Amino acid sequence: MTTKVALEQHVAAGSPELREVFGGVAAAAREIAKQIRLAGLSDALGAYGAVNVQGEQQQKLDVFANDVMIKWLGQAASVAACVSEEDEAPVVFANAGAKYIVIFDPLDGSSNIDVNVNVGTIFSVQELQGGDLDASILQQGTKQVAAGYVVYGPSTVMVMTTGTGVAAFTLDDNGEFIRSNDAMQMPEQGPYYSTNEANAASWPEAYREYLAMLLRGDLNGKTYSSRYIGSLVADFHRTLLKGGVFLYPPTDKAPKGKLRLLYEANPLAMLAEQANGAAVNGPERIMELQPEQIHQRTALIVGSKREVEALQKAVLEAR
């Protein structure tokens, strides 16, 4: 019989100091998963009635998930501060000697909750450098010490890395995250592309031609199929498992892109690279971008190496 390995055991085996961080994320994820599962019965659906720092209409579950993440991370002695999509400034904890900063999107895809589509929590872990909180937050993605996401779907699954490969953990009936895959690898190339094609008319020409290339089958001799949910975590999770490419290109309205660098693009880029994939903003590697502000936005193209490298080549040649 295969020995069950819990999340905390897995993390402690390779990086004992991160155990409390992942314990906090796991505790929050359990509570969020339960609230999502019962949302239709507990008046937790719909708009909260406020706008967040992004100028976006907050959903009730956005606020709930944010509060829960802050609550549990604040109880983790190794967490010095956290940064959330929902808050303008960092939340600093009075944890003496704490060395980690957790940067997160508490509930990605929350606008899909009302129609029962998969949503998720995305997180990145940075190390506090010399007591300088601002500089520690604004580190390149290459400095991440861990990253992951939780997808709330038919099952609740956490996918994570501490820089030595990618593992998945499934929430069991006892409330424990049990390892269900200890060596996730993204296929070198895949059959799917994932993007909102309604925006294609406002993409730069190189991106439109790249999409046409996928549809013609010019990249690998086979035409690609479209798979798009509109929930970043869900679309990335499928891309990680099946291969292919997820695209959120720049547009006329958002020439620098729309996704957030620190708590969406960077953690997914780390996971992709650790699983033999790649992630760029078009011309540049995502994890080499230098953040200038907490809520900085970026384009994101992430997925199998062959598809991502072909897009990057097309963008660079179009310059």
- Output the known binding site for Mg(2+): 85, 105, 107-108, 264
- Output the known binding site for substrate: 108-111, 196, 228, 258
Collapse the DSSP code of 300 into the 3-class scheme (helix H, G, I; strand E, B; otherwise coil) and give the result: strand
The amino acid occupying position 319 is: R
User: b or e along 252-286 (b: 16 or more beta carbons within 10 Å of the residue's beta carbon)?
Assistant: eebeebbbbbbbbbbbbbbbbbbbbbbbbbbeebb
Decide if 82 contacts 101 (C-beta within 8 A). yes
- Output the known binding site: 85, 105, 107-111, 196, 228, 258, 264
E strands in the chain: 47-51, 57-59, 79-84, 91-92, 100-108, 119-127, 146-152, 156-161, 166-171, 177-181, 192-194, 225-226, 245-248, 259-260, 277-280, 297-298, 300-304
d(CA 303, CA 279): 7
Q: Checking DSSP bridges between strand 297-298 and strand 192-194, what pairing results, if any? A: unpaired
Give the residue from 150, 129, 122, 155 showing the smallest Cα distance to 270: 122
Give the residue from 112, 214, 104, 77 showing the smallest Cα distance to 160: 104
